[in-house]
Amino acid sequence: MTELETRPLGKSKVQVTSLGLGTVPLSGFNADVSYDEFEATILAGYAAGIRYFDCAPMYGFGKSEHYLGHALRANKLRENVVVSTKVGRVLKPASRTKKLETVYGIEWIDPLPFLDTYDYTYDGVMRAFEDSQQRLGLDYIDVLLVHDVGRAWHGDQSEFYWNQLRASGYKALDELRSSGAVSAIGLGVNETESVVGVAREFPIDCSLIAGRYTLLNHTPLEAAFDELLQRNVSVIAGGIFNSGILATGVSGPAATYDYGKVPAAVVEKVKAIESICLRYAVSLPAAAMQFVYAHPAVATLVMGAKSALEVEQNVKAINETIPAAFWDALTEASLLPSNAPLPTVVR
């Protein structure tokens, strides 16, 4: 087993390992994954030292929660791990529910026979939480995240859902945390702006932010991460490969950027990063992971994986030795801003 560093989530008592295992790839995202493959990947993560696992009702329309809960119970791992899931969506029978048109247009392979509906009200949060407990088969959930609230996902409808959360959703979150049903509260989003906005209105502990702080995206350094640090809101960093380009490089056969075609400017930037990686014998995934984890606001990296091999690759990457000169070279080439926190390396 690899010893992974642990950090707290905000002011909560929850401690997460530097690597978490996300279940999107295991829930039918671009691949048909059996329960046996799901369980084997979870067990590989646990054997590698990972003690944080993330799921959501949306992932496979209930499949990730069903599978994860069973794997943890069957292998008697529950008491040793942290589990996060999400509210904001209520699953309803597919035969009687209209399919949502979403910004990313995800088509799950072999999902459970449900579809998601949005509901950020008190009743919606409570129902989603209780449904998740049933699917997971867990009597408490460590971390509860409000899923996809904000303009990045809802566009012109975002204010409508914001008002639901403000009017009564916050009350549900407060009750769940105060009662001990959950230990930490936060957001699970693809933007940073909504996290700062909520943190100013309601005392969250953390937020899973996907794809907004990476080797390619540095906008949170302008102010957002500083404010989250001041408010003691921990960042759970997801999507740190920007959906693929920072894992495969520009020559990868299925390289994507934020689930779409890679823009020409991004291709050129990744080529420049890869050139410096080659010079210093550093793997691109290791650079991507260690850069994000170096920020003091970041408590953990949630990395999706659909096999034991991918888990092993992620663990190897976060432990790879990277010379200080590598980070200096990226900064000197203006590929990283001068104010970016960098990994501490023995020079």
Catalytic positions, written as ranges: 54, 59, 86
The answer to whether 330 and 273 have CB atoms below 8 angstroms apart is yes
Question: Residue 237 and residue 209: Cα distance in Å, rounded?
Answer: 5
Question: Residue 210 and residue 225: Cα distance in Å, rounded?
Answer: 14
Question: Residue 34 and residue 105: Cα distance in Å, rounded?
Answer: 23
Question: Residue 290 and residue 283: Cα distance in Å, rounded?
Answer: 11
Question: Residue 271 and residue 251: Cα distance in Å, rounded?
Answer: 9
Q: Is 347 exposed, middle or buried (0-12, 13-18, 19+ CB in 10 A)?
A: exposed
Smallest CA-to-CA distance from 145 within 210, 96, 93 is with: 210
CA atoms in the 13 A half-sphere facing the CB of 180: 1
Smallest CA-to-CA distance from 30 within 146, 127, 109 is with: 109
